[in-house]
């Protein structure tokens, strides 16, 4: 058994020895990778940024890393195949690859629209389909997508991003319905306004942070660490009877 981590996750989660593939190693993804490792899991992290993976592996030498552009045809199946070979199997897939482009819908070209959906939605489909084939055959597995409150709320200047996350939620539900009888659960975690390196520039714009905080009943923005617990729970044996669910981690944002 793994030694208990400082926050006590390793013992009760039941992820000791789990074989986990994480797609996206920045921001929330990086924190989830640390959470899986603390819980005793074996992790293969995939990101297009080699320096980002190298930084993680300096602090976590047990982490397996692979650089890949998941928008390339066949890349999703390739990284799942590598996870099976490197980890000796695959119990959990976490997809947290995403980009945003904050502009009014009237300003987007077709190519710009397609790019956001390709990164956020198509990469999720390709990797989850490949993982699902293995998990359905094995009779067990956990798939977790990182969604967003934007998949539920009509945020201005979030057209393609909101469409991609809404589509992700519905794709997740269909996968969950099709694979439930095979012991495979498929869920999503939908963060609200989270402070990450990827949102730092936007939050630094005059009035942006204050405006967003006013929309959150909790009266503050969230941290990447606060998303980790829900992700690990949905990845664990404790969530065996939960599937097709979008779990909002938003400080109450979707309540108002």
Which run of H or of E encompasses 6? none
CA atoms within 13 A on the CB side of 45: 32
Q: Which of 36, 161, 193, 248 is catalytic?
A: 161
- Alpha-carbon distance of 75 to 23, in angstroms, equals 11
What are residue 180's phi and psi, to 5 degrees?
Answer: -60, -40
- Alpha-carbon distance of 206 to 109, in angstroms, equals 27
Q: Which of 172, 182, 192 minimizes the C-alpha distance to 234?
A: 172
Q: Sign (positive/negative) of CA torsion 192, 197, 198, 203?
A: positive
Active site residue 248: no
Say whether 45 sits in a helix, a strand or coil.
Answer: strand
Q: Tell me the H-state helices in the chain.
A: 9-13, 28-38, 50-59, 75-87, 110-117, 123-138, 159-179, 200-203, 208-214, 225-235
- Alpha-carbon distance of 199 to 250, in angstroms, equals 15
- Alpha-carbon distance of 122 to 28, in angstroms, equals 20
Active-site annotation, residues = 161
């Amino acid at each position: 058994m793994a030694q208990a981590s400082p926050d006590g996750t390793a013992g009760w989660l039941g992820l000791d020895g789990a074989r986990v593939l994480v797609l996206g190693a920045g921001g929330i993804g990086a924190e989830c990778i640390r959470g899986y490792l603390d819980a005793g899991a074996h992790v293969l992290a995939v990101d297009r940024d080699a320096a980002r993976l190298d930084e993680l592996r300096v602090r976590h030498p047990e982490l397996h890393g692979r650089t890949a552009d998941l928008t390339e045809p066949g890349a999703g199946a390739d990284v799942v195949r590598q996870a099976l070979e490197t980890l000796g199997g695959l119990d959990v897939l976490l997809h947290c690859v995403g980009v945003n482009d904050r502009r009014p819908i009237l300003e987007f070209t077709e190519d710009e629209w397609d790019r956001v959906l390709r990164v956020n939605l198509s990469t999720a489909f390709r990797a989850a389909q490949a993982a699902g084939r293995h998990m359905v055959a094995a009779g067990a597995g956990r798939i977790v997508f990182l969604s967003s409150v934007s998949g539920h709320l009509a945020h201005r200047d979030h057209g393609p991003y909101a469409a991609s996350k809404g589509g992700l939620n519905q794709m997740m539900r269909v996968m969950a319905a099709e694979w439930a009888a095979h012991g495979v659960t498929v869920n999503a975690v939908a963060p609200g306004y989270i402070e990450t390196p990827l949102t730092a520039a936007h939050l630094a714009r005059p009035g942006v942070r204050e405006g967003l905080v006013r929309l959150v009943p909790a009266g503050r923005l969230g941290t990447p660490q606060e998303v980790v617990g829900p992700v690990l729970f949905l990845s664990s044996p404790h969530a065996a009877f939960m599937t097709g669910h979008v779990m909002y981690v938003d400080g109450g944002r979707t309540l108002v």
